[in-house]
Amino acid sequence: MTEGSISGQDAFLDSITKRLGRETPERVERPAWSRSPQKQVLAEEDQESLLQVLISHSANIHTEVLTTTSGEAADVFSHAVDELGGGPVMFSRDERFEECGLSTWMPPSSSKTEVHVWNDKDGEGSMQKARTANIGVSVADMTLADSGTIVLLRNEGRGRAVSLLPENYIAIVPKSSLVPRMTQAARRLRAFSEAGDTFPSCVNFISGPSNSADIELRLVVGVHGPVRVFYIVLGDM
């Protein structure tokens, strides 16, 4: 058996289906559910209504939501950085930051504080910078309004370390990325896969700062990730 191959799968499945007295299926058919209530939750809400749901729920998960436009994003971002204690700031490598109005924060333009951008050619060095950064920053690919969750699709330059290792985290959230809940996000991921595109090696669902609870139900924040989280929603994107 070569590395990365699957051996004996068909024989194994044939054995099980014969014991069950069935024919081996050629493909899996999704059941036709008689009820699908998850598809109706918030399904009729527009983007503005979903934004209000996001803001409301984010307060419950200790996450502050700031709303602005790409034209004012740099000033709002500066405010968030100051609130979180300044740099060093670690950005994922993402061309969307320029579209989001944060080009003045990108090296070599930025002179505001110590700023780094993830470099895949120096993975170990980038990892170390992420460990010592005070703030990590990335752009949300999807945002689940009902749970205050951002979705990050792992691509080159957009690894998990930027949102996990720094003490604080800022997510740039295009308003157009808002969907009602996990149902719609899963539907988009399925469509992405069925289109034949390269599926992300990792899909991260992040709901505010890291929260842990011990057996006595005492909440501890920041053990497995950021202590504080800001979402900056761009209303014109």
| Contact present, 203 and 189 (Cβ < 8 Å) | yes
Spatial distance between the Cα atoms of 201 and 109, rounded to a whole number of angstroms:
31
Distances (CA, A) of 132 to 38, 89, 90, 180: 41, 9, 9, 35
pLDDT > 60? residue 104: yes
In this prediction, residue 155 has a pLDDT band, given cuts at 50, 70 and 90, of confident
| DSSP string covering 131-168 | HH-SEEEEE-SEEETTTTEEEEE--TT--THHHHSSSE
Please give the average per-residue pLDDT across 118-143, as a whole number.
93
Q: What is the CA radius of gyration of the chain?
A: 21
Inter-residue contact 152 to 144 (CB < 8 Å): no
Is pLDDT at 2 greater than 80 in this prediction? no
The whole-model pTM stands at: 0.83
Domains and CATH numbers, the chain: 45-234 (3.40.50.10420)
Q: Higher confidence at residue 1 or residue 128? A: 128
Q: For residue 63, give the H/E element and its range.
A: strand 63-68
pLDDT of residue 1: 46
- The reported pLDDT for the residue numbered 3 is 55
Among 176, 173, 205, 200, CA closest to 189 = 200
Instruction: For the chain, give the mean pLDDT.
Output: 88
Q: Is pLDDT of 231 > 90?
A: yes
pLDDT at 52: 95
